Amino acid sequence: MGTSYGLIEIPSTTAAIDVLDIMCKTANVEFVTWEKKLGGRLVTIIVRGTISAVTEAVEAASAHAIKKPVAKAVIANPHEEIVKIVNKSASRLQ
Amino acid sequence: MGTSYGLIEIPSTTAAIDVLDIMCKTANVEFVTWEKKLGGRLVTIIVRGTISAVTEAVEAASAHAIKKPVAKAVIANPHEEIVKIVNKSASRLQ
Amino acid sequence: MGTSYGLIEIPSTTAAIDVLDIMCKTANVEFVTWEKKLGGRLVTIIVRGTISAVTEAVEAASAHAIKKPVAKAVIANPHEEIVKIVNKSASRLQ
Amino acid sequence: MGTSYGLIEIPSTTAAIDVLDIMCKTANVEFVTWEKKLGGRLVTIIVRGTISAVTEAVEAASAHAIKKPVAKAVIANPHEEIVKIVNKSASRLQ
Amino acid sequence: MGTSYGLIEIPSTTAAIDVLDIMCKTANVEFVTWEKKLGGRLVTIIVRGTISAVTEAVEAASAHAIKKPVAKAVIANPHEEIVKIVNKSASRLQ
Amino acid sequence: MGTSYGLIEIPSTTAAIDVLDIMCKTANVEFVTWEKKLGGRLVTIIVRGTISAVTEAVEAASAHAIKKPVAKAVIANPHEEIVKIVNKSASRLQ
């Protein structure tokens, strides 16, 4: 199905929620999970979609976020171990 | 229904509780949730209401808070993924 | 009933326990809850009583604490959303 | 029974365990609880005994600890709210 | 069976997920567990495989990671206590 | 039975796992527990054995660790309160 992941890691919950709103309104991506327990004020947002959609979402988020992201990545064709680890994170959100 | 979210992220629990009191007394907004597990002494308060009410609440909170907020945002017409993530946070408070 | 809240936020568990002892011996206030999960070594103590009692307690705690508080507040006539959030914190202590 | 509390707050788990060993071998005090979730690498050790025993224990711990304590206190004749909060912490250890 | 462990510890969840993707695509290694609760923004990724595979994976991850790792190790022929501690971490992920 | 404890506290999970491997391969010591929830990136490893074995293990770990330990201790003939607190930590690992 060609699913890719887009990741943005940004300080503050407020900036993270704002970034997710930007990503979902900009491109056809789906929210997968967020990770907030790393300390240091960081939140990681993970979305999925086609490689072009997640790239567009990550770029829009970087450009318009209210805080500077500390890390971003687009993972095309993720290894099955990555899919498992992301799905586990998502299942803990339910 | 035109619900918008107002977010304030501020250091210290004391400042966060004080900010929520200011917001609720200033404008017709409803407390939705708070997020406290990010480390770095930050608390995020999320309220909802009309766009004008949450804007007024966020501005009053910024002006009168006992600590300087590190982030604030008004999210008008939030994407459904944002509504879901905020509702999940709220449900963990119950 | 005219309940007000007094809040003191202070670094270290030791200073927080000492501050609570000071507040309860100084004025007719009741311990409500403490919040310790914000990181950054902070503990928030919340007491309740009449506005004059909590003001006296907060002032005595500020004057005699073994550490300098990072935040303090007296919330008179707290909005019902504040009462709910404080009660939820207290119920998690039981 | 005249119970008093002695508190030592010190960076690192290793120093905290060593301090407790010093206190218990020095004076007739009983371990009550420790609090470790404050972040900032701090551990608080609370012991109880007579006022002279806990004072001796806290002084010996301060003098011989492998790290410098960030806070210490002897609480004589603790208010009943303090006894409750300390007992709750101890009950979570069981 | 000659299993060895490869460990990479790196700041940010985004960098950690990216590093795991690199390791799994580079060498024949299997994801075992990650540890994220240490604070300070660090994530530790642990993979297992032959000594040559985990060495190759750790080197590729170090060379291509989007953040600089703060620690890395290859543990050949791990002591049984190490196997037990790693397995316990993995079982908490299930 | 003459059991003593050896403690090493070191930044990073990777360094802690490596240190435990060194200690167990160097001397006849048994892993008891680790404590990782103190924040500040620290992990404490506790092993037990005869006083000479734990001393040898702690010295080897200090000399060969990939990170500098922030604290180390050998507790000979630990007070029964120490044994209880260490056993409680170990029981939470099961």
Stretch among A17-21, B83-87, C35-39, D49-53 having the lowest mean pLDDT? C35-39
Instruction: Sketch the domain layout of chain F as residue ranges.
Output: 4-93
Residues in chain C with CB shorter than 8 Å from the CB of B45 are none
Q: Using CA atoms, how far apart are residues B82 and C6, in angstroms rounded to an integer?
A: 34
Residue pLDDT, tens place only, A21-36: 999 999 999 999 998 8
Residues in chain E with CB shorter than 8 Å from the CB of F34 are 85
Instruction: Report helix, strand or coil for A70.
Output: coil
| Secondary structure of A14-59 in HEC code, one letter for each residue | HHHHHHHHHHHHHCCCEEEEEECCCCCCEEEEEEEECHHHHHHHHH
Contact F12 E42 (CB under 8 A): yes
Banded pLDDT at B66 (limits 50, 70, 90): very high
Inform me whether the pLDDT recorded for E94 exceeds 70: no
Residues in chain E with CB shorter than 8 Å from the CB of F36 are 35, 37-38
Counting as contact any 3 or more CB pairs under 8 A, the partners of E are A, F
Residue pLDDT, tens place only, E17-65: 999 999 999 999 999 999 887 777 899 999 999 999 999 999 999 999 9
Inform me whether the pLDDT recorded for E84 exceeds 80: yes
Residues in chain C with CB shorter than 8 Å from the CB of D45 are none
Q: How many CB pairs under 8 A join A and E?
A: 71
Q: How far is E41 from chain F (nearest CA, A)?
A: 8
Residue in chain B closest to C10 (alpha carbons) equals B12
Q: How far is D78 from chain F (nearest CA, A)?
A: 23
Counting as contact any 3 or more CB pairs under 8 A, the partners of A are B, E
Q: What is the complex's ipTM, to 2 decimals?
A: 0.82
Q: How many CB pairs under 8 A join A and B?
A: 72
Query: Can you give the C-alpha Rg of chain D in angstroms?
Result: 12
CA proximity to D81, closest of C5, C4, C19, C72: C19
Residue D10 parent element (H or E): strand D4-11
CA D41 to each of CA C8, C14, C40, C71, E40: distance values in angstroms, whole numbers, following the listed order: 22, 14, 9, 21, 11
Task: Identify the pLDDT of residue C94.
Answer: 67
Task: Identify the pLDDT of residue E1.
Answer: 46
Q: How many CB pairs under 8 A join B and C?
A: 70
Average pLDDT over every residue of B1-8? 86
With an 8 Å Cβ cutoff, is B93 touching chain A? Answer: no
Tens of pLDDT along chain A (94 residues)? 469 999 999 999 999 999 999 999 999 999 999 988 777 789 999 999 999 999 999 999 999 999 999 999 999 999 999 999 999 889 887 6
- DSSP code of C88? H
Q: Say which of E9, E40, E78 has its CB closest to residue F21.
A: E78
Tokens read off for F89: 């930590």
> Would you state the CATH architecture of domain E4-93?
2-Layer Sandwich (3.30)
With an 8 Å Cβ cutoff, is D61 touching chain C? Answer: no
Inform me whether the pLDDT recorded for F1 exceeds 50: no
CB burial string F19-51: b at 16+ within 10 A, e below = bbbbbbebbebebbbbbbebbbbbbbbbbbbbb
Residues in chain E with CB shorter than 8 Å from the CB of F89 are none
Contact D18 F85 (CB under 8 A): no
Instruction: Report helix, strand or coil for B21.
Output: helix
Task: Identify the pLDDT of residue B37.
Answer: 75
- Give the rounded distance of the alpha carbon of C4 from its chain centre: 11
Q: Do the Cβ atoms of C25 and C68 come closer than 8 Å? A: no
Inform me whether the pLDDT recorded for B42 exceeds 70: yes
Residue in chain A closest to E92 (alpha carbons) equals A88
Q: Phi-psi category of D65—alpha, beta or left, where left has phi over 0 and alpha has psi -120 to 50?
A: beta
Task: Identify the pLDDT of residue A1.
Answer: 47
Instruction: Report helix, strand or coil for D38.
Output: coil
Q: Say which of B14, B20, B39 has its CB closest to residue C71.
A: B14
CA proximity to E10, closest of E52, E73, E80, E65: E65
Contact C75 B21 (CB under 8 A): yes
Residues in chain E with CB shorter than 8 Å from the CB of F30 are 81
Residues in chain B with CB shorter than 8 Å from the CB of C70 are 12
- With a CB cutoff of 8 Å and minimum separation 6, the contacts of C1 are none
- With a CB cutoff of 8 Å and minimum separation 6, the contacts of E89 are E32, E33, E35, E46
Task: Identify the pLDDT of residue C1.
Answer: 47
Residue E93 parent element (H or E): helix E80-93
With an 8 Å Cβ cutoff, is D71 touching chain C? Answer: yes
Average pLDDT over every residue of B21-43? 90
Inform me whether the pLDDT recorded for D94 exceeds 80: no
- Interface probe with B: pick from C7, C12, C19, C38, most Cβ of B within 10 Å: C38
Contact E39 F34 (CB under 8 A): no
Task: Identify the pLDDT of residue B1.
Answer: 46
Task: Identify the pLDDT of residue A55.
Answer: 97
Residue pLDDT, tens place only, F21-56: 999 999 999 999 998 877 778 999 999 999 999 999
